[in-house]
Amino acid sequence: MARETPEINAGSMADIAFLLLIFFLVTTTMDVDAGISRRLPEKQPIDAPPPPVIKQKNVFEVIINKNDDLLIEGEYKQVKDVRQLAIDFIDNGGSIGNPMLSLGETEGKPCEWCQGAKDPTSSDHPNKAIISLKTDRSTTYGTFIKVQNELGAAYRVLRNRLSEEKYGMLYTDIIIALEKDKGNESLKAKRNYIRERYPEIISESENQ
């Protein structure tokens, strides 16, 4: 009589595999790619008042065409030129700005903190200066990001300069400190003061 081969009870193996699966699901971390921080404009109500008329001199036009050529105010430029050209435009201070409602102003005033050329053909005030970034559908993502970074850097330069003059510390240091102490009202007031005087106004659209 042949000896029967003993069977292995595999019932507990399924339980072990299930427990291991649960363990890895709970303990494994997933890498999440960081995107670009941008908030889309809210949809305007039907009865919203018409937008204010914007003077052309208060618009700084940056166009990236399908060949990744960069046109600033109608002239071909390099990415390395973007930052300084944007600073000159934003900081021009050629006339009066929009009223600062937080200060209770009913009418605009000149930019006393601007150090620009005060060219009457360029922007009136930082809170009127609009940067218009237009791209083509075929514009490469890399070029778009480089230009966008340079425009953001222009605002950081101006904010850092004003913050250091006013508070003896860089605006970027204020932001870092606020990340560690989110409830610090003094830091919030400093941040808001700088942002109000150099608001980041960038319009992004696809060139038609």
Q: What is the mean pLDDT of residues 162-186?
A: 96
Q: Within a domain: residue 68?
A: yes
- Contact between 170 and 160 under an 8 Å Cβ cutoff? The reply is yes
Q: 37-51, 62-76, 165-179, 182-196: lowest mean pLDDT where?
A: 37-51
State the pLDDT at residue 155. 97
Q: Within a domain: residue 164?
A: no
pLDDT tens profile 90-104? 999 999 999 998 888
Strands 70-72, 75-77: parallel, antiparallel or unpaired by DSSP? antiparallel
Per-residue confidence band for 16, with pLDDT thresholds at 50, 70 and 90 = confident
Handedness of CA 171, 175, 177, 183 (dihedral sign): positive
Counting residues of the chain whose pLDDT is more than 70, the rounded percentage is 82
- Contact between 110 and 95 under an 8 Å Cβ cutoff? The reply is yes
Hey, what are 29's tokens? Answer: 């971390």
State the pLDDT at residue 157. 98
Q: Within a domain: residue 162?
A: no
| Residue entry with tokens 């002239």 | 75
Using alpha carbons, list the distances in angstroms from residue 120 to 65, 93, 193: 29, 9, 26
For residue 38, give the amino acid letter: R
Q: Within a domain: residue 41?
A: no
State the pLDDT at residue 27. 78
Burial of 177 (0-12, 13-18, 19+ CB in 10 A): middle
More confident residue, 27 or 112: 112
Q: Within a domain: residue 134?
A: yes
Domain that holds residue 64: 56-155+200-206
Q: Within a domain: residue 169?
A: no
Residue 34 has pLDDT above 60, yes or no: no
Give the total number of structural domains in the chain.
1
State the pLDDT at residue 103. 82
pLDDT tens profile 106-134? 899 999 999 999 999 999 999 999 999 99
State the pLDDT at residue 104. 85
CA neighbor of 145 nearest in space, from 159, 158, 135: 135
Q: Within a domain: residue 96?
A: yes
State the pLDDT at residue 31. 60
More confident residue, 68 or 44: 68
Q: Within a domain: residue 135?
A: yes
More confident residue, 15 or 142: 142
